A = this chain, B = another copy of it.
């Protein structure tokens, strides 16, 4: 199943697909060489939007949930990639401590945790769950499929340099908690263990603007390699200053930036003969994509934000307050499944694409965030016949070809995340 691409102007993207397929050996070699220089994030999911004339990542998640949405057929791929990842950090690893999100009763999320445990068990690890919640004894949670998972209280080792559970000393601590709550002291100074992803990948420290800037660099090189306009793959963006929650300060800067970004987009649309209405996305510089996000078509919309609107923008999950905003060129999502707007989400472990799905939202528009209640998930058709790209196929018609292109663009974001983590590392290793 290839979702229907409902746009008059898909010529540029079909051209991109053709160029990417044709350059496959060069592209894969380029990634191979980049991964010699840079360490990929342990795992990552990337939300893409396909506008027909443009294909771009709009969210790069370093603490991906949703592994339960991947098609079971593709799990061996995840296991194989996880084997490569584990070997890199701790080849003789026996135990893995997984730390999930706090206080969640979301059974979809808990199934993601169970799925991750299943994947890592299969790579040769005993996996147990530690929680940042303040519990005194193990807590069992029943899952919809009849199985249970057990959250256990964390324990620091006697020397203070390791984290574990009762009778469980892991080689690696794997976070599936994005640290929107800040960095808890129990995770600090674990000098004898790998903490993955690193603490500065959490939203207490991470800033989207750093990611965008790293992505700029990556796309510039890649666009040269395959000979396309980098804008095809890269939304324009601007960083705004502080937006004060209490006062009106900051609104002017926001409106000015929105206005200038919109006029840049208009120019590009004109260059390519695109008739759609440009829009930008205003969002907090930190925090998960699903929170604090606003679609804006005209600067006047942000000129006089009331307190409620401002508060919605800057207060994220678990009350994390980030006053800094980023403004990003909006990318229409012109893919449709049964008339509903769909956006692909690509999952990676280490440097490998291990699957993906479409996030589908029947009640949202082509220029709105789909990561919202009411979304459902349709696995990407990796599992269908001829799962390797088909060079003979007419551009735009073969599912594996479109998904290969998605995998390439998602890996550009993955590489950008790797550069971002290097540049923002508070304790860079010197070689």
Listed in ascending order, the chain A residues whose CB lies under 8 Å from chain B are: 24-33, 36, 72-77, 79-81, 83-84, 86-87, 91-94, 118-119, 121-126, 352-353, 382-389
A85: shortest Cβ distance to chain B, in Å? 11
A124 to B27, CA, bound (A): 7
Alpha-carbon separation in the docked complex, A26 to B87 (Å): 15
Residues of B within 8 A of A125 (CB): 25, 28-29
Is A389 touching B27 in the complex (CB atoms < 8 A)? no
Assess whether A124 is in contact with B76, with CB atoms less than 8 Å apart: no
Copies of this protein in the complex: 2
Do residues B32 and A87 form an inter-chain contact, with CB atoms below 8 A? yes
Q: Tell me the complex Cα distance, A26–B124, Å.
A: 6
The interface residues of chain A, by DSSP majority, are classed as helix
A75 touches B387 (CB 8 A): yes
A30 CA to B92 CA in the complex, in Å? 9
Q: Is the CB of B24 within 8 A of A121?
A: yes
Is the pair B80, A77 in contact by a Cβ cutoff of 8 Å? yes
Question: Are A387 and B72 in touch, CB under 8 angstroms?
Answer: yes
Apart from the given pairs A25-B125, A73-B383, A80-B80, 12 other A-B contacts in the complex at a CB distance below 8 Å? A25-B126, A28-B124, A29-B124, A31-B124, A36-B91, A36-B92, A73-B385, A74-B76, A74-B387, A76-B387, A79-B388, A122-B389
Are A33 and B75 touching (Cβ within 8 A)? Answer: no
Q: Return the contact of A25 from the options B74, B83, B121 (Cβ within 8 A).
A: B121
CB of A81 within 8 A of CB of B80, answer: yes
Q: What separation, in Å, do the CA atoms of A274 and B121 have in the docked complex?
A: 35
User: CB-CB < 8 A to A386: which residues of B?
Assistant: 72
Contacts of A352 in B (CB 8 A): 80, 83
* 20 residue pairs from A and B, CB less than 8 Å apart: A24-B122, A25-B94, A27-B124, A28-B124, A29-B92, A32-B87, A32-B124, A72-B385, A72-B387, A73-B73, A74-B76, A76-B353, A77-B77, A77-B80, A80-B81, A83-B352, A84-B84, A118-B388, A122-B388, A383-B383
